[in-house]
């Protein structure tokens, strides 16, 4: 079972599988949401072929990790 972690970037909270790495100055997309990382974040790389369907996020949006990778509370 995947363990998910919360990543806080510029006031936006993302839940991603532990071990996913978000690199500086990259845009990472999953589940039709994006992460724009301005710095390196620990425990959070999605491969370039997973970057898709860029969509603007709002501060209160909490996108899900890829299907099967999260336990809803």
**pLDDT tens, residue order, the chain (73 aa):** 567 777 776 666 777 777 666 654 455 555 555 555 444 444 344 444 343 333 344 444 555 555 554 444 4
Q: Are 24 and 56 in contact (CB under 8 A)?
A: no
pLDDT on residue 16? 74
Spatial distance between the Cα atoms of 26 and 73, rounded to a whole number of angstroms:
29
Q: Distance from CA of residue 18 to its chain's centroid?
A: 10
pLDDT on residue 63? 55
Distances (CA, A) of 46 to 28, 41, 55, 66, 69: 7, 13, 17, 11, 14
Which of 2, 47, 66, 27 has the alpha carbon at shortest distance from 12? 27
pLDDT on residue 24? 44
pTM of the predicted model over 0.95: no
């Amino acid at each position: 079972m995947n363990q998910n972690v919360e990543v806080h970037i510029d006031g936006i909270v993302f839940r991603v599988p532990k071990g996913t790495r978000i690199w500086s100055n990259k845009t990472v997309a999953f589940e039709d949401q994006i992460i724009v990382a301005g710095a390196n974040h620990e425990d959070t790389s999605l491969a370039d072929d997973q970057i898709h369907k860029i969509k603007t996020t709002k501060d209160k949006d909490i996108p899900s990790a890829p299907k099967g990778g999260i336990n809803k509370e």
